[in-house]
Structure formats: C-alpha cells, structure tokens
Amino acid sequence: MPVCTPVLQDSRRESMPLKQFDQALAGWFLEGEIQQWSARTMADRRDWMRRLASFLAARSMDFGADGLRAFVRALMLGNDGGGRKPLSPASVKHAHVILTAFGNWCVRDECLSENPMKRVPVPKQIPPDIDPFTDDELVQLFAAAGRSRSKHRDTALLYFMDETGIRASELVDLRVDDVRLSERQALIRCGKGGKPRTITFGANTVQALFRYLRDEPKDPGDPLFSSSRGGALTRFSLLQVCRRLGKAAGVEGVHPHRFRHDAAVRLLRNNGPIFSVMTLLGHSRVSTTQIYVKVADADLTRLQATASPVDNLLSGRKGKR
C-alpha cells in the first residue's frame, strides 16, 4: 500500500492535508533508516517536523506554500508556539534546508507535483560575529584551568578545543579509543552531516591529554571527557565548564563555539593552508572557512600598521636625531 496517493500526470498538486502529511513523514523517515541517517540527523529532523506539524495543526493549514511561508516567518519572529524566542538566521536556514529536503522527497515519491518550498524564500544569511580570544585572554583561561579542581581535565579540554576547533556535539561524542596520542590524531566518527573526519593536535595538547588520562584512568569505550560527577560530559555541562573558567579568568563571553572561532583564526594567522583548515574544521564549503580568513587578514593588517619592523626601526632612528 503506497504511503502517498500518486499524483496524476494531468494534475497539479502543490499541497497536502495534514493526514497525508503524517503518512508522507512516515515514509520519509523510513527511507532515512534505509539510507542510515545518523542518530543525530534523525532526531534533528524529527524535532523540526514535529514543530512544523504542531504549527500547521494549530492553524488548520496544509503542508503547502502558504503554511510553510507562515511557519518560516514565525520562526524568525519567535511566535510559532511554545513561547520560543526568535531564531537566528542560521537556524532558520537550517530549518529551510530540512523542509526543502522533505518536499523534494514528496515530489520523488509522487505525493506532490512540485515542492512548495520553492515558493518560500531562503532567509538572508548574516555572517556570524567572529570574536577570537586575545593572547592575554587565552593565557588567563589556561591559567584558570590549571587552578581548577579538575585541573588536568580542564587544561586538556581547553587545549583540545582551541587546537582542533572541534564542535561541542563532536567533542561530547568522543571516546577514549577515538584518540591516538602517539599520532596526535583523533577520529570524529559522526561530524556535521554524518561525515567522519580526522583531526590533529600538537605536542602540548598530547601532554595535557596524557596527564588527564593518567589522572583519570578510563576504558577504551568510555567518553574522553567526563563531568565532575563521573558521567559523560554533555553540551550543557561543557558550556558550564567554559562559563566557570571564564569567570575565574575574568574573560567574558566564553563558550565552546568561541574556541572553534579562535582555532580557525589562529591557524590562518599562522599560515595554515585554507583547505587544510577547512578539512580540520569539517566545513563542507570553502566559503564558510573564508569568513575566518577575513578576520585573520584584518588582524594581520592591524599588526603591520603597529608592528612593522621597518617602520618602527626607521621611526626610532629619526627620533634619535
């Protein structure tokens, strides 16, 4: 029995009532299981589609261009239900991508003759604010980690985040046997989009990880970073660690993603090839990495303006005359 009623060749069907929408969703997720979507991808798409279904049902709207436009606008304004706040442009675009993927599947499965998301504008993307740490801020954070009650874990954690630019979701999924200290490498089994990759780190991070694992022995399948209570570190508890160390260091705005920004900018400042940085960070498009290039280039321009060896030498000699 088909999930959807096939579209007749001479008909135009650009929307679905909610009952058929629910049936189509079941078919889409079944295909996801066959294609072996990652658990994170499956959960993320289920959450978004439940959110859409609730929105449409509350307003007696079909899965069509009008309902989808209203939903995307509600996400931007924060009034799609449940007292939620307005979403960032990046989050709204993420939802747009998921809804478009579902609409494309409906066309392929002949539930619809055309994807209604084609008539829903893609939200305008605003480049994210890139705010890397200053050298002094980073030194203060490392010092605060060294004074904490979990100094070996916190030091290894900050070194690892700032050196690899790892995403918070990837870090909390790491297991001990994903890390090869002798090779200075770690395997990200399921990065963004379900893509695996290998990340690398330097000698100081190796030493910090060695001290941490020596201090807190673990089995190969255990989480690499544990919470102070002994369980796996979660994204929320990781954020709490960053905030605590930021407060102890007197550095504002410390959060896991800021270490990712800092890693990208520092790698590029230190002449890291853009495609190597792109691979390390797990970017699927070079345009994403180029956002950091602009910040790094701006830093180098300011550095040259204030620390030019020739300008400073000659200006110093002129002052002695």
Catalytic center residues: 167, 192, 257, 260, 283, 292
Token pair listed for 232 = 């796996």
CA angle 70, 117, 46 (to 5 degrees): 80
Side chain identity at 170, as an amino acid letter? E
Strand order in the sheet with 185-188: 179-180, 185-188, 197-200
Q: Position of tokens 């495609």?
A: 275
The owner of tokens 């896991």 is 256
d(CA 134, CA 278) in angstroms, rounded, equals: 22
250 three-state secondary structure:
coil
How far is it, in rounded angstroms, from Cα 221 to Cα 225? 12
From CA 107, how far away is CA 34, in angstroms rounded? Answer: 19
Reported in sequence order, the residue ranges of 77-214 that DSSP labels E, i.e. its strands, are: 179-180, 185-188, 197-200
> Is residue 145 within 8 Å of 158, Cβ to Cβ?
yes
DSSP secondary structure of 177-242: GGEEGGGTEEEESS-GGG--EEEE--HHHHHHHHHHHHHS---TTSBSSB-TTSSBPPHHHHHHHH
Please, are residues 115 and 108 in contact by the beta-carbon 8 Å criterion? no
Q: Give rounded-to-5 percent helix, strand, coil for the chain.
A: 65, 5, 30
